[in-house]
Copies of this chain bind each other. A is one copy, B any other.
Amino acid sequence: MDELKARILSEGKVLPGDIIKVGSFLNHRVDADLMGRMAEEFGKHFDLSKVTLILTIEASGIALATICAYKWGKPLLYAKKAKSDNIENGLFCSEIYSYTYKKNVTVMVESEFIKPEDHVLIIDDFLANGEAIRGLTDLVKEAGASLEGIGIAVEKGFQGGGDRFRKAGIDIYSLAVIDSASDCKIKFREN
């Protein structure tokens, strides 16, 4: 998606450790209009008529996934990390490693909110090693639901997570795939 790539180039910052920061429009300050256009772009790729549920993970996936749910008229479910007092009954859970926080994290959804008959589209802002998305696909499996695909705003292609899902035959569509960020220079994968 050219508009997203242009924003990454003009506003993105590359930090040590190949961290790519796009907090000015994607995951701290949020450009909701841009997210509306990102939702339209996902809508060109995925067959939304099949989708019954949008699934994402707190916190940074929520903004984009909410706009998608709103524009498409679908319910959204966001997985939570770790256990809070407000979640009491049946849970689907998966353990993932968070590279951001450098520790294992449990991601979970209340089991009543994903049914075996659901057709799930996963939406997230970022994909790097793919741990968070792997956790979400685990939850879909645990529920016995169908995974229709995975829509990602920014994929760090050089960290391999996205390509692992592609090799496994999953329909994953990333609006911008960054294949290298060395010397603070961002290079995108060709379409």
Contacts and interface: CB of A to CB of B under 8 A. Distances in A.
A84 B101 contact: yes
Given A86-B15, A88-B15, A66 B110 contact: no
B15 A75 contact: no
Interface in A11-47: 15, 17, 19, 21, 23-24, 28-33, 35-36
Nearest to A23: B110
Number of this chain's copies in the assembly equals 2
Nearest to A72: B32
Nearest to A13: B88
Contact of A77 (B21, B30, B78, B80): B30
Given A28-B109, A75-B30, A77-B30, A23 B62 contact: no
A19 B30 CA distance: 30
A10 interface: no
Query: Contact residue range for chain A?
Result: 35 or more
A76 B63 contact: yes
A100 B73 contact: no
A69 B109 contact: no
B17 A69 contact: no
Nearest to A109: B28
A117 interface: no
11 contacts: A15-B86, A19-B85, A28-B113, A29-B113, A33-B73, A35-B66, A59-B62, A62-B63, A63-B76, A66-B66, A84-B100
Given A30-B66, A35-B66, A59-B80, 10 more contacts: A19-B85, A21-B86, A28-B113, A29-B77, A31-B75, A58-B58, A59-B59, A62-B66, A63-B76, A86-B100
Question: Which 5 pairs, one residue from A and one from B, show the smallest C-beta to C-beta distance?
Answer: A58-B59, A32-B70, A59-B59, A30-B76, A32-B69
